Amino acid sequence: MRKIALAFLILTGVSVAHAQIAPNPAPPLNGQPGQPAGPLTITGRLPDSQLAITALQYKGAWNAATNTPTLANGTGVVGDMYAISTSGSQNLGGGSVSYVAGNYLLYNGTVYEQIGSGTAPSPANPSAQIGTSAINGTAQTFMRSDAAPPINLAITPTWTGAHAFASNVTVQGLLSSTNNTTPAGPTNSGVALSAAPDVADVLFFDATQSVNNRTYEAIAFQGCQQFRFKNDAGSAAIPWLKGCGGQAAGVTGITSNSGSGSWVHTGGFSVNNFNNITLTPSISGGTPTISSAGGNANVSLGLATQGTGAIVLAPGGTGQLVVNASDIQAASGYTPANAQSLATKAYVDGATGGGPVLASGTYTPTVVYNSGASSGFVGTFMYQRVGNVVTVTGTMSIAVAGAPGSSGNIRLSLPIASNIGFSNQAVGFGTTTLQVGQGSFSVIGFSGDNSASLTIWSANTNSNSYGVTFSYTVQ
């Protein structure tokens, strides 16, 4: 009867349920264990020299953050194994490597290699795992691809929680949402999609700005495309520009909101098919305005009001002309600035008592007597102003000393002050009134004291009565 030898071999990392040694019909060639076709050892085992497995020796925990104990490629014993206790990055001689707590470090005689703990696919077998469908092991809720393996496109991945990507993400097709909600407190830029209500929301977060001034939003909401500013909590939004409508309905409305700031446009601005503009003052009872600025400040407008509203023309901010449904009149308090101004009825009525454009009155001039002239009587003079020209008339008696035919000079004060810069700013003449031909005079302006200068010629030395008439300009 032939003998049958049975052996059970238990090796680290190798499990052999059972092995059957075939019957040996003949003695071994050399009868030595460890030789080709040789027998087992006397203990019934294979010689250790025939096993190509290096024993693993657990050396304890290793801190990857501090490299404790100190490890380096090229040092150690083949099979040394450490459990990574703290995550970190170290350069053991082959470049910086990130080590994860829970994994193992194994020395292969040349370098230390990191081995996963078994909670994720091994880096040596980077088949993808998606959703709850297992491809190479226990089902996972995340996807890992260390070497860009083929992905089963028939599987629809379901991700839960937030996922971060260290590089760009390229999407070919549409981003759609079924039940996600807009984040209440965004801290980064991104795209948020919501299904209830249907919202497509793009958020831009600027961390350099102050609190509640850091989130900018572009959103399709309530039938309008809106650009908005949001607070940090995402609970309030100011739409600074909103366009409503659609392809079928067309543009049904555009609304802008510059708040307490101003809307400034640089460059040409053209509006086609423009029918009306509605100005609503921000303060109740205020007056909306349209201003023109720049080198050419002319504005051409066709204006119409609703109801009993009035149009007030106010260049420079001061109301001058009011146009309402029944009348055209001067604005309250308007005073023409110069002779070319359009005088209003209210201004003319008010000017009768001494206004600057149309005025009249009486006065007694102050007389300065120069050499050769003296006065015996000065009557009440009358004056009238139209625009900037003043006409003065009156009577007075003047005597000229010296031989008949001699001349004298006097100066009369003016009823309305003027800055006489030249003699031709005043002109006039006169003659005796009771004894015609006994004397005459001429009038010019005198800049020394802003007065009218009269030069008199007399046929005698008597005190003759003269009728005085002269005009001057107000400067």
Query: What would the 3-class secondary structure string for 62-74 be?
Result: EECCCCECCCCCC
pTM (predicted TM-score): 0.34
pLDDT digits (tens, 9 = 90+) for 50-69: 665 567 889 999 999 999 99
What is the structure's pLDDT at 122?
A: 41
What DSSP assignment string belongs to 419-459? ---SGGGEEEEEEESSSTTSEEEEEEEETTTTEEEEEEEES
The torsion angle over the Cα atoms of residues 423, 364, 387 and 418, rounded to 10 degrees, is: 40
Q: Is the pLDDT of residue 426 over 90?
A: yes
Confidence of residue 148 (pLDDT cuts 50, 70, 90): low
Whether the pLDDT of residue 350 is over 60: the answer is no
396 compared with 42, residue with greater pLDDT: 396
Radius of gyration for the chain, computed over Cα atoms and rounded to the nearest angstrom: 56
Taking phi over 0 as left and psi of -120 to 50 as alpha, with beta for the rest, 453 belongs to beta
Q: For the residues 32-42, what does the mean pLDDT come to? A: 72
195-249 pLDDT, tens digit per residue, is 555 667 787 888 888 888 888 888 888 888 999 998 888 788 899 999 999 899 8
Q: Which of 426, 428, 434 is nearest to 450 (CA)?
A: 426
Count of beta carbons in the 10 Å neighbourhood of residue 408: 22
Sorting pLDDT into bands at 50, 70 and 90, what band is 412? very high
pLDDT, residue 9, reads: 44
Report pLDDT for 243: 93
Burial class (CB in 10 A: 0-12, 13-18, 19+), 230: buried
pLDDT at 139 over 60: no
pLDDT, tens digit (0-9, with 9 covering 90-100), for 298-348: 656 666 666 677 777 777 667 777 877 777 777 777 777 765 666 666 556
Domain ranges within the chain, ordered by starting residue: 57-115, 190-256, 359-473
pLDDT of residue 380: 94
Which pLDDT does position 433 carry in this prediction? 85
Beta strands in 179-249 (DSSP E): 190-195, 198-205, 215-221, 224-230, 237-246
Q: Tell me if 81 sits within 8 A of 87, measured CB to CB.
A: no
- Out of 67-81, 381-395, 432-446, least confident range: 432-446
Asked if pLDDT for residue 108 goes beyond 60, the answer is yes
Fold of domain 359-473: Adenovirus Type 5 Fiber Protein (Receptor Binding Domain) (2.60.90)
Residue 391: pLDDT above 70?
yes
Check residues 285 and 183 and name the one with the higher pLDDT: 285
What is the overall mean pLDDT for the chain? 76
Of the two residues 2 and 352, the one the predictor is more confident about is 352
Minimum mean pLDDT among 106-110, 329-333, 463-467: which range? 329-333
pLDDT of 125: 43
